[in-house]
Structure 1
């Protein structure tokens, strides 16, 4: 049975789901009835973070131009440029057994591609969610619906997975940024 979380809530993943080693992180969204002349292209990314909360190199950043990190520890399944249809619009797969010991957090983000030039922002996005699915049996473990708390933001940190001793936990974040992908990259220590 899936658990619905609210902003800021945390949940233990691996302790309450013994044997869980691999999850599918499904991200989805819709756009409001808005005609700005351009399709919305939202992009999921993952930042693999060290003890100081920062990524150290491009190898710690998984997105549509770098689909895999650390021999499959995190894999992006591909870019959906329109978000059409129901269900997940983009997916990331995390294999906790392959995440190097020096990586303590994995931040999951979504940005709007070319948001500034297209005049787009998360105020025009609705029904945004992240869900975590056990890859072994396709059971949805948890879901976090972001709500409609955004206006001018062009990037959002949806959630983070974090390691506490030998266990992996999940935190619903829902924090918006202006400045798109560049702002997130800088926030996480890359240039």
Structure 2
């Protein structure tokens, strides 16, 4: 049974059978912007959204950033599928354009928080994108076992006028990993600004 979290909800990653979640995926699917000319013809404007993963220690120091320029964390626990520069040009294909995978068993022991963020590389407003959905789930890039959180940022009233957001944060408490579904836009323009926003406000 999927756990579809509301923004701000927190959950433990210990499952009903007593086992602990090991593999998490964050998938982002979005579409290119349609533009109609005064003659009625339709053109597509590519949309470059960037999913990134930020690793912090217990003192809120940034340890590592996995993004389109570094597709794997130093400890090998986090992997990025690669940069998608366009979005779906032919309508929603239902597939994630970018996927980040996290294997908790490989995380360095000093990692205390793992945050997932999304930035619009060219500054294209989330509210202008025809569809953009996020899902955070247990499984692999090709198999969804259980969904923890979903966000529809193209249709969300609070996302218009923003080009960055914090999707969610996994954090360690008393030796146990938990998840905070955040789903909030930020005023940041660049990834490095979002790293600082997460460090100051979401850990």
The TM tier, using the shorter chain, reads: 0.7 to 0.9
2:48 equivalent in structure 1: 41
1:106 equivalent in structure 2: 114
Change (3 A) 1:168 1:105: same
SS at match of 2:4: strand
Q: More deviation in 121-130 or 29-38? A: 29-38
4+ residue runs over 4 A deviation: 31-37
Contact 2:31 2:47 in 1 (8 A): no
2:3 equivalent in structure 1: 3
TM (norm. structure 1) is: 0.82
Between the aligned partners of 1:101 and 1:143, the Cα distance in structure 2 is 26
Rg (Cα) greater in structure: 2
What root-mean-square deviation, in Å, do the aligned CA atoms of Structure 1 and Structure 2 show? 2.5
TM (norm. structure 2) is: 0.78
1:169 equivalent in structure 2: 178
Match of residue 140, structure 1, among 119, 122, 146: 146
Change (3 A) 1:72 1:14: farther
Between the aligned partners of 1:140 and 1:80, the Cα distance in structure 2 is 25
Match of residue 79, structure 1, among 77, 83, 95: 83
1:73-116 per-residue CA deviation (whole Å, 9 max, x = no partner) reads 1111111222213232211111101111211111101111121x
Offset of residue 145 of structure 1: 1.9
Between the aligned partners of 1:100 and 1:130, the Cα distance in structure 2 is 25
Structure 1: gaps (5+ residues): none
Contact 1:21 1:95 in 2 (8 A): yes
Between the aligned partners of 1:137 and 1:42, the Cα distance in structure 2 is 23
Contact 2:50 2:68 in 1 (8 A): yes
Structure 2: gaps (5+ residues): 37-42
Q: Aligned pair count?
A: 182
Between the aligned partners of 2:16 and 2:190, the Cα distance in structure 1 is 35
Between the aligned partners of 2:30 and 2:182, the Cα distance in structure 1 is 16
SS at match of 1:47: strand
Alignment of structure 1 residues 19-58 onto 2, 5 Å: 19-30=20-31, 33=34, 38-56=45-63
SS at match of 1:153: coil
Between the aligned partners of 1:52 and 1:3, the Cα distance in structure 2 is 30
1:115-162 per-residue CA deviation (whole Å, 9 max, x = no partner) reads 1xxxx2112234422221224964133232245121221111111111
